[in-house]
Structure 1
Amino acid sequence: MSTMSRSWRDLYQIYGSDERDSNINLSAQGIVLGFSTGAFVIYFNALTIYLTRSFPLLPVQVWSLLVGFVVGLTALMCVCFLVTAANLLYSSLILRWRIAEQMLDMLDWSYVHEVLDVGCGSGILLNAVGLRLKKERAGGGCAVGVDLWLEGGKKSMSFTLQNASLEIVDEYVTCKTGEPRNLPFEDDHFDAVVSAMCLHKLSSESGPRSAEACEERLKGLQEIVRVLKPGGKAVIWDLCHVNEYAVKLKDLHMSDVKVSSCIPAYMMQSHIVSFKKPGQMS
């Protein structure tokens, strides 16, 4: 069962938002459009009369209709911008936490001791693993996060480790630098592997639908399979391409491949795919 529910304020205070800049830009545009809509409504009659007098070729009814159309369009754009900003904030915090809990509920914690989080970012999923280890395996277990870090800021290893300390799971959590397509671990190393919103980003510069991007995503998937112990389980949450992963996993002879129903996230479709690696846990 899930360890706890979290408010967006609690999560934001620790992790911030990966979509902060987008949220600010979208919200600012929505607010400007909102004020514009209000101004159009207040000065509707005055604007209609002004346009009729300035351009008498069109009757007042036509100008009234055109101004009304602009007011409606501006209001609709305002709503779209604000709803998109709210969805990004929800998806990057509350939904990420809820999906993390759902993913971890899919693991059998009676044998899970060491877990890898591929593309751990600021650590929401990684620390959820740490909290679950703390609850299920008090005094033991390790959650390893791997990512390509930047120096300083919210995309640095130090920031992620600081978040683990704030969640009081720093004794269970560690981080390493590594590329998802070339993980710095030996074969058959982890009892379980998790990943959230990572694989779809691989080689995105080639275009998500290109053959090159597909090949890079599947390289990341194959690396997850490689480092997973026989008998171990992996759970991946990703955008758009999960059915592609399911086909590849079956080609790799993985067992118990399951794809969840659609989970709306970031204004797109997402799914969870889980699978087991054939063999017995040592």
Structure 2
Amino acid sequence: MKTLKVIKIGGNIIDNDVALSSFLKEFSTLEGPKVLVHGGGKLATKLAKQMNVPVTMLEGRRVTDSDTLDIITMVYAGKINKTIVAQLQSHQCNAIGFSGADGNTIIATKRPTEPIDYGFAGDVKQVKTKTLELLLNNNITPVFCAITHNEKGQLLNTNADTIASELAIGLSSIFNTELYFCFEKNGVLEDVDNDDSVIENITTATYKTLIEKAVIYEGMLPKLNNCFHALNHNVQKVCIGKSDMLFHNNIKHTTIKK
């Protein structure tokens, strides 16, 4: 069984043209099947302000009304996704851009309005792998933006970390899947003010201890819950850290295993 890497990148790469170009050049050299998942960065917020569309965030997540959905579809599935695909082609990495609607790959349901109404926000219900398997086995790299659909014609805004973990889970019946969350920190930190205090290995048992000691809290909790959800559904390992961890063996990062 081949090993597949599912790699999620965030705003620290997407919002910086130089960082994005550098990452994509190195990403294109990764051998074996791979899937790239990207968030939206700050561009959707910037465009919303230019168009006088209010931006509402609740508990760190974007409230998606119909006008906001139009904007993020333009930005995520259009501008950002196609920029990434075009740059990968320039590095001889044959890529195809995806939302969850393309190839009917990621089906979601609209999140319930209680306790918080996030509007057109989607929770992943199913990943269909047939199209992706065909592409990956022919050396084509899928590039996913953070948009899904409900099979009834409605697009939905969906958390990019969730999309990455659900893709890794869905494809784990075909490949040995590894999940990589690339962000601005060196990994999960013991001391948030010390970038060198990386916790290099976390297991189910040590995770509970880290929560009890309040080493892990707030913003990192949803990310790590996604990690363990993936591990509990056949993903082989999850790594968190700067994107350099993908390309260089001596880069400190956090590896999470069962």
For the aligned pair, the TM-score class normalised by the smaller chain equals 0.3 to 0.5
Q: Which has the higher contact order (CA 8 A, sep 6+)?
A: 2
The structure carrying a bigger helix percent of its residues is 1
> TM-score normalized by structure 2?
0.37
When normalised by structure 1's length, the TM-score is: 0.34
Structure with max Cα Rg: 1
Question: Higher strand share goes to which structure?
Answer: 2
